[in-house]
Amino acid sequence: MECDEEKYFIKINVEQGSITIPLSDDNPNAVKSAFNRLLQRVRIGEFTIKLDKVGEDLFSMVANEYITQLNREIQEVHRQMQEYGLVK
């Protein structure tokens, strides 16, 4: 999780660059774009997202829970993509 000018976001580093998911900003297009990029990465193979550090503040706890749920979804989506022959 990172903070820039009072805006919090999750930054996920993948081989194709970084993917940013806003936590404190209502930006549905940024979230949609991030999820599209995550889906592209899932096609290459299953992966797990980890926080570098989990703090005691609210946004750190929210980010940790968000990533836990996101990892579950990544596993499920990858499994379904395999079933339909959509993985590379």
pLDDT tens digits, one per residue of 8-47? 899 999 888 899 999 888 999 999 999 999 999 999 998 9
User: Has residue 72 been placed in a domain?
Assistant: yes
User: Has residue 6 been placed in a domain?
Assistant: yes
Residue 17: left if φ>0, alpha if ψ -120 to 50, beta else—which one? Answer: left
**Model confidence, pTM:** 0.84
User: Has residue 88 been placed in a domain?
Assistant: no
Q: Which domain holds residue 70?
A: 2-83
User: Has residue 50 been placed in a domain?
Assistant: yes
- Total number of domains constituting the chain: 1
Question: What contacts 36, CB < 8 A, 6 or more positions away?
Answer: none
User: Has residue 70 been placed in a domain?
Assistant: yes
User: Has residue 26 been placed in a domain?
Assistant: yes
Amino acid occupying residue 64: N
